[in-house]
Amino acid sequence: LVARENHPTGTVIDIRGVKLGGNQIQVIAGPCSVETQEQMHLAAAGVRAAGCRMMRGGAFKPRTSPYAFQGLGVTGLEYFQAAAREQHLPIVTELMDVRMLDTFLEHDVDVIQIGARNMQNFDLLKEVGRVNKPVILKRGLSATISEWLMAAEYIAAGGNHNIILCERGIRTFETAYRNVLDITAVAMLKKETHLPVLIDPSHAGGKAWMVPALARAAIAAGADGLLVEMHPNPCEAWCDADQALTPQELNELMVSLRLIATAV
Ligand code: PEP
Ligand code: MN
């Protein structure tokens, strides 16, 4: 179902009137995790001011350590929704557990994110395949293109064709940065599938100073958009502080992207 030949012109996904795919590039920005009402309020204003039309933020966080901040849970969804609605921004947030799917729907989550660590959680994929909500499927930490496309196929097989792929860097021998951004995947996916392709330059590089270069490379390579971490005060972020842009840096990034692609 996800093969290019089934839809040669490419899928365009409509997220509460915001179009992603085709010629419509979207930059989805926001903090790694929802922390406080104040933080989300400032973040939403920054996302909007930079000209982005969708917002990200995690209320349920897949953390390496069980002792690290795990996210605010349902309270986080409420803070996120309140801040984003004020700025008319559809929200993207990660679903880790099938048992929370109804709660996500009740809280009117606009786009369900399936994180890298759950790319092959097949029961989760089957469940999001049964609902009529756009899904961002991130690439697994060491997943091949074909494993990734098969994971997307699980969602499509359930009837949900609103799938967006997101390359977020893969594991290699390199340790100088968080992950290796696989730009090659953009070219490959554009040939193999009709699904829109996002790049997450934040989790790829792991450092805020790297984000603009990786983001520009992604757009130049033909990606349909970006998923970028931005925090009103990165030094104080509870999660992924090193890779968060400031609102000002997000704004500058957007200006530089418009020189590469007019549809940003
Ligand atoms: C995220 O986007 O917040 C995240 C946890 O990313 P990934 O699943 O790519 O590690
Ligand atoms: Mn993060």
Task: Write the ipTM.
Answer: 0.99
Q: Give me the residue label for tokens 């309140």.
A: 82
Angle, CA of 211, 216 and 218, to the nearest 5°: 95
Q: Whose CA is closest to atom 3 on ligand 1?
A: 32
Q: Whose CA is closest to atom 6 on ligand 1?
A: 115
Residue 240 alpha carbon, nearest atom of ligand 1: 3
- For residue 263, pLDDT over 90 is answered with no
Which pLDDT does position 163 carry in this prediction?
98
Averaged over 177-198, what is the pLDDT?
98
Q: Would you say the CB of residue 136 lies under 6 angstroms from ligand 1?
A: no
d(CA 21, CA 139): 18
Q: Would you say the CB of residue 203 lies under 6 angstroms from ligand 1?
A: yes
pLDDT digits (tens, 9 = 90+) for 193-246: 999 999 999 999 999 999 999 999 999 999 999 999 999 999 999 999 999 999
- For residue 262, pLDDT over 90 is answered with no
pLDDT digits (tens, 9 = 90+) for 141-159: 999 999 999 999 999 999 9
Residue 61 alpha carbon, nearest atom of ligand 1: 5
Which pLDDT does position 8 carry in this prediction?
94
Q: Would you say the CB of residue 139 lies under 6 angstroms from ligand 1?
A: no
- For residue 190, pLDDT over 90 is answered with yes
Going along the chain from its start, the domains and CATH numbers come out as: 4-258 (3.20.20.70)
- For residue 107, pLDDT over 90 is answered with yes
Averaged over 32-39, what is the pLDDT?
98
Answering whether pTM is above 0.95, one says yes
Which pLDDT does position 264 carry in this prediction?
85
The count of other CB atoms within 10 Å of the CB of residue 252 is 14
